[in-house]
Structures are given as structure tokens and as C-alpha cells.
Amino acid sequence: MERLDAVIHRIDQLNAADPNLEMNEGRSEPTALLYGQRMSAILAEFASAPSEHLKIAVRGQHIERWKRPRSDYPEGRIGYLQWRRDAAKYHAERVAELMKSEGYDDDACARTASLIRKERLKIDREAQLLEDVAALVFMRWYFAPFAPGRPPEELFQIVKKNRYKDVGRGPQSRPQTSAACRAGSGDSVGRLSCASLSSALSLRRRRHNVAIDDCCGVRRACS
């Protein structure tokens, strides 16, 4: 556990150098640092016993993100996908370097790097879980500021991508609209954001056996 804590600490140290700042509960914090902490927080609620590989991958999947800005690549989908691939490769290599320096063997480093690159996404349960956590983090914290000015069809497709049907666990397990969501529902973006949160928080319920009862938070189910 000491080496796990050491790697997490080093990831946070690097991300704390992010020059981009974001307001969080009245404080200005480095964007990359805050994102990694949010990812870890959702993982802790979403998974009962995640592996060390997954904990590190979740914390470091956007390590030093600001060093590879989207603006360095062409506009459009092709440029976007190339940026995503190059960024994932960079993040995986940086995290693997940190792990190796803290005593993890080559297999552990390779496994974590594979998760960050999201290889074998549809058949690797941990890679899929990382993807699900990232979707939840985006819908909870980043969808509302992302939405203004975007075409409605684009927003709809994002919501649709992250929406999964309730699998019949009964009314107690269905997401409920929280006060935070209700407060933001006065315009179309707010309503869409709330609907997407409620839908996204049903994410992979059957696969991960997760009980979710609040559209602005998730709760782990004992399995």
C-alpha cells in the first residue's frame, strides 16, 4: 500500500503544476489535480474492491493533460481522435514511469498502461470500469459547462451514449433528482444536464452490480 500511496502522491504533485485553474467549493484549484481526485472519488463509490492497477490508472489517466492541448491538433473528428490516442499513450507512459520508480514490476506497469490506453475495452472489465467512471465524472461535473453553445443534436448524442436503461431493481434503486439538479433545471441546458445525470448514473448497473440512488452521487452495493 505504501508504494500505491507514493504513486498517487507523485501523480498529484505533477498535476498540481497545471496552470489551468478551476473553481471548486469556493477555491481555485489546478484542473488536472481536481479531475484526478474526482475520478478516484467516483471509483471509490462505484467499485467495492478496485485493484491497485485500476486505482492508479483512474488517478493518472489525465496526468499532465495541459502539456498536450487539443489545440495542437487539427479541428474535426480525425484531429480529435489523433489527439486522444497520442494523449492516452503519453499518460500511460508517464504513469508507468512513476510506478517503476516506486518499485512496481514490468507486468504491473504494463497492465496499468493498458488500462489508461483503454485497450480491449469491451472485454476487459477493469478498462470498461475506468471508462464508466470517466463518463460519470464528465456527466456530474463537466457536462453543464460543456453544453452552452453546442448544437442540441450533439448534446443529445452525448446523453444517449451515456444512457442505460434501468434493469428492474425497483423504484428504490432508480436515480432521484437532487436539489442540486432541480436548482439548475430552469433552462434547456439545465434540464438536459439533469436528465443526463440521472441516466448516466444508471451506467453499467447490471455489469457492476451497483445501486445508485442520487443523480449527483453514487453508492456502492455490497455484492
The residues spanned by each domain of the chain are 1-133, 147-223
Looking at domain 1-133, its CATH architecture is: Orthogonal Bundle (1.10)
Model pLDDT, residue 149: 77
Q: Is the pTM of this model over 0.75?
A: no
- Joined together, the cell numbers standing for residue 43 give 471509483
Model pLDDT, residue 121: 83
Q: Report how far residue 139's alpha carbon sits from residue 143's, in angstroms, rounded to the nearest whole number.
A: 5
Q: Which residues, listed in sequence order, are joined to residue 214 by a DSSP beta bridge?
A: 217
Q: Which stretches within 61-105 are classed as H helix?
A: 77-101
108 contacts: CB under 8 Å, gap ≥ 6: 52, 53, 99
Model pLDDT, residue 180: 34
Model pLDDT, residue 35: 96
Q: Report how far residue 46's alpha carbon sits from residue 209's, in angstroms, rounded to the nearest whole number.
A: 9
Q: Report how far residue 40's alpha carbon sits from residue 54's, in angstroms, rounded to the nearest whole number.
A: 10
Per-run averaged pLDDT (10 residues), the chain, 223 residues: 94 97 93 96 89 97 95 94 95 98 97 95 90 87 72 68 40 33 42 48 46 35 30
DSSP 142: I
Model pLDDT, residue 45: 87
Question: Of 42, 36, 204, 212, whose CA–CA distance to 133 is shortest?
Answer: 42
Model pLDDT, residue 7: 98
Model pLDDT, residue 153: 73
Model pLDDT, residue 63: 97
